[in-house]
């Protein structure tokens, strides 16, 4: 859970997106996209989790606190969970996380949730493209969770 | 009101004398005016300290799991809802619990009084009128004027779970909860909401009084104290404070009974309820679930249906 380094170089802004992918579907979907040589922006940093039900809401907050520009969480389609009901339980959690974080002022598109199956390599690339576009439009995370050295004062200016 | 106190003391005396319980958890007069403090009566001789009035603001369900032995507890509506959630989560044994239910018309929000008259030196409650002598002046309030915000929209003043009921019950409206306060905030722009929470979170000193006052924050190790992984660096700043408060609210999703104990316990006046109420509203509107309204049933996040709303997914 180290700090995500912010590059100072003056090139085209490329967001850093923490992608939590479930082992059985979305990770395999990302793998299929790779095997199939499907092109998508190299903006995601993949974190493999056993199931979307494993996602602790704190993971999302911590990624934002550590400076990720966006978070993508993806699991099996409802009904296809390897553990039968993991993603159903996760779905309630995700809806509440998203709604609460929007309420405290985090931009709608910073945090994305999707279902991608192991057969949907092309769709996985499209999801990443879409998420990258939307996060790029928002710009870097100077948001309300990011912990910076001055205790958030810089973001207040 | 006096009859309730007498009945309460009689009941407590009887329970302790008969050996049905080891301890009665209730309220006694606190050392500061308009403050009651939790009281643990272990013998029949102690029960005359028990009181019941509009200052009994603590949620006593907080103390039940920490108190060994068989216990009786004085429970308002919100205390009983917290007990119901704790029972649903197998944190309590129903047979060890004797619930003395009282209907609650609401508790006093001290902050409103202190804001006007300064530190409270003396106070008395008579017939629903509260006369206060403060550092900056004296004033008399009607109870309705200084009722806590959470009590103003309370839908469960009567205990949902009880072994005996003292006094009369309070009639409640059967309408669906309105959440006017949450909607007012939701209607503001994202920027305004962000500013509002920034302001609130910069007040927080992370004393964790909210966590300790909360009947449902019972984790053996709170995520804020956890060293591995270390969720928070320990610094007190706005971003980390929001991390803590949002994390706490997410832990309370579908469990919070909206007793307002966290907000009343806060020494800094942080609007913690704004987060909790939003979560309560979301759980109610998305899953039609209210926490702790019966002993059986499960917290909202322990259940699912195949048709739960999915509007939050990406468009692709």
**CA of A136, closest CA in chain B: separation in Å?**
15
**Within this chain, do residues B133 and B86 fall inside the same structural domain, yes or no?**
no
**Within this chain, do residues B135 and B165 fall inside the same structural domain, yes or no?**
no
| pTM of the full structure | 0.92
In this prediction, residue A151 carries a pLDDT of 47
> What is the span of the domain harbouring residue B121?
110-146
In this prediction, residue A2 carries a pLDDT of 55
Q: Which CATH number belongs to the domain containing residue B37 in this structure?
A: 3.40.50
**Within this chain, do residues B76 and B130 fall inside the same structural domain, yes or no?**
no
In this prediction, residue B183 carries a pLDDT of 95
Give the nearest chain A residue to B191 (CA atoms): A105
**Within this chain, do residues B82 and B212 fall inside the same structural domain, yes or no?**
no
Architecture of domain A17-156: 3-Layer(aba) Sandwich (3.40)
Contacts of A78 in chain B (CB under 8 A): 306, 310
User: pLDDT band at A152, cuts 50/70/90?
Assistant: very low
**Within this chain, do residues B200 and B299 fall inside the same structural domain, yes or no?**
yes
Residues 207-236 of B with CB under 8 A from A: 223, 229-231, 233, 235
**Within this chain, do residues B73 and B194 fall inside the same structural domain, yes or no?**
no
**Within this chain, do residues B97 and B117 fall inside the same structural domain, yes or no?**
no
- ipTM value: 0.92
Q: Is the pLDDT of residue B226 over 80?
A: yes
**Within this chain, do residues B142 and B256 fall inside the same structural domain, yes or no?**
no
Q: Is the pLDDT of residue B292 over 70?
A: yes
**Within this chain, do residues B85 and B124 fall inside the same structural domain, yes or no?**
no
The rounded mean pLDDT for chain A is 89
Would you kindly state where each structural domain of chain A is located, as residue ranges?
17-156
**pLDDT, mean of residues B67-76:** 96
**pLDDT, mean of residues A18-24:** 97
**Within this chain, do residues B72 and B132 fall inside the same structural domain, yes or no?**
no
Q: Give the model confidence (pLDDT) of B77-90 as tens digits.
A: 999 999 999 999 99
**Within this chain, do residues B279 and B184 fall inside the same structural domain, yes or no?**
yes
Residue B37 belongs to some domain of the structure: yes
**CA of A74, closest CA in chain B: separation in Å?**
10
**CA of B139, closest CA in chain A: separation in Å?**
37
Interface contact B256, partner A, CB < 8 A? no
**Within this chain, do residues B235 and B299 fall inside the same structural domain, yes or no?**
yes
**pLDDT, mean of residues A87-97:** 96
In this prediction, residue A71 carries a pLDDT of 97
Give the nearest chain B residue to A104 (CA atoms): B194
Interface contact B271, partner A, CB < 8 A? no
User: pLDDT band at A157, cuts 50/70/90?
Assistant: very low
Mutate to test the interface with B, among A44, A94, A103 (most CBs of B within 10 A): A103
DSSP assigned state of A106: -
Q: Give the model confidence (pLDDT) of A41-87 as tens digits.
A: 999 999 999 999 999 999 999 999 999 999 999 999 999 999 999 99
**pLDDT, mean of residues B101-110:** 94
**CA of B294, closest CA in chain A: separation in Å?**
21
Cα–Cα nearest to A72, from A37, A38, A40: A40
Hey, is A93 helix, strand or coil?
A: helix
**pLDDT, mean of residues B229-242:** 89
**pLDDT, mean of residues B164-180:** 88
Q: B127-146 b/e with 16+ CB inside 10 Å = b?
A: eeebebebeeeeeebebeeb
* Counted domains in chain B: 3
Q: Give the model confidence (pLDDT) of B19-62 as tens digits.
A: 999 999 999 999 999 999 999 999 999 999 999 999 999 999 99
Residue B152 belongs to some domain of the structure: no
Q: Is the pLDDT of residue A149 over 80?
A: no
């Amino acid at each position: 859970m180290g700090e995500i380094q912010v590059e100072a170089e003056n090139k085209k802004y490329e967001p850093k997106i923490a992608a939590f992918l479930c082992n059985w579907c979305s990770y395999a979907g990302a793998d299929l996209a790779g095997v199939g040589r499907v092109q998508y922006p190299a903006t995601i940093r993949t974190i493999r989790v056993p199931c979307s039900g494993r996602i602790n809401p704190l993971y999302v907050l911590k990624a934002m606190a550590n400076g990720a520009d966006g978070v993508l969480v993806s699991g099996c389609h409802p009904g296809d969970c390897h553990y039968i009901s993991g993603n159903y339980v996760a779905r309630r959690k995700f809806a509440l996380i998203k709604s609460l974080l929007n309420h405290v002022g985090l931009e709608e598109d910073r945090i994305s949730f999707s279902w991608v199956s192991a057969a949907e390599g092309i769709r996985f690339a499209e999801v990443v493209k879409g998420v990258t576009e939307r996060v790029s439009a928002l710009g870097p995370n100077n948001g309300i969770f990011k912990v910076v050295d001055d205790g958030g004062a810089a973001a207040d200016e | 009101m006096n009859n309730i106190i007498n009945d309460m003391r009689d009941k407590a005396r009887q329970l302790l004398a008969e050996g049905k319980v080891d301890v009665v958890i209730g309220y006694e007069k606190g050392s500061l005016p308009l403050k009651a403090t939790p009281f643990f009566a272990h013998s029949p001789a102690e029960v005359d300290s028990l009181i019941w009035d509009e200052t009994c603001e603590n949620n006593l369900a907080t103390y039940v799991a920490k108190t060994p032995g068989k216990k009786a507890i004085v429970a308002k509506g919100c205390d009983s809802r917290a007990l119901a959630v704790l029972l649903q989560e197998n944190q309590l044994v129903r047979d060890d619990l004797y619930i003395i239910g009282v209907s609650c018309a609401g508790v006093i929000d001290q902050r409103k009084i202190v804001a006007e008259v300064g530190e409270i030196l003396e106070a008395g409650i008579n017939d629903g009128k509260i006369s206060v002598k403060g550092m900056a002046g004296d004033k008399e309030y009607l109870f309705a004027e200084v009722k806590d915000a959470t009590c103003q929209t309370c839908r469960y003043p009567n205990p949902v779970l009880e072994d005996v009921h003292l006094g009369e019950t309070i009639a409640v409206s059967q309408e669906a909860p309105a959440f006017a306060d949450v909607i007012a905030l939701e209607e503001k722009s994202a920027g305004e909401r962000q500013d509002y929470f920034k302001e609130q979170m910069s007040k927080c000193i992370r004393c964790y009084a909210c966590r300790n006052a909360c009947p449902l924050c019972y984790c053996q190790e709170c995520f804020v104290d956890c060293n591995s992984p270390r969720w928070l660096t320990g610094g007190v700043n706005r971003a980390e404070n929001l991390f803590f408060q949002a994390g706490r609210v997410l832990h309370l999703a579908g469990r919070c009974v909206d007793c307002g104990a966290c907000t009343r316990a806060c020494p800094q006046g942080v609007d913690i309820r704004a987060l909790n109420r939003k979560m309560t509203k979301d759980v109610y509107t998305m899953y039609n679930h209210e926490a702790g309204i019966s002993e059986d049933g499960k917290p909202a996040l322990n259940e699912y249906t195949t048709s739960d709303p999915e509007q939050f997914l990406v468009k692709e």
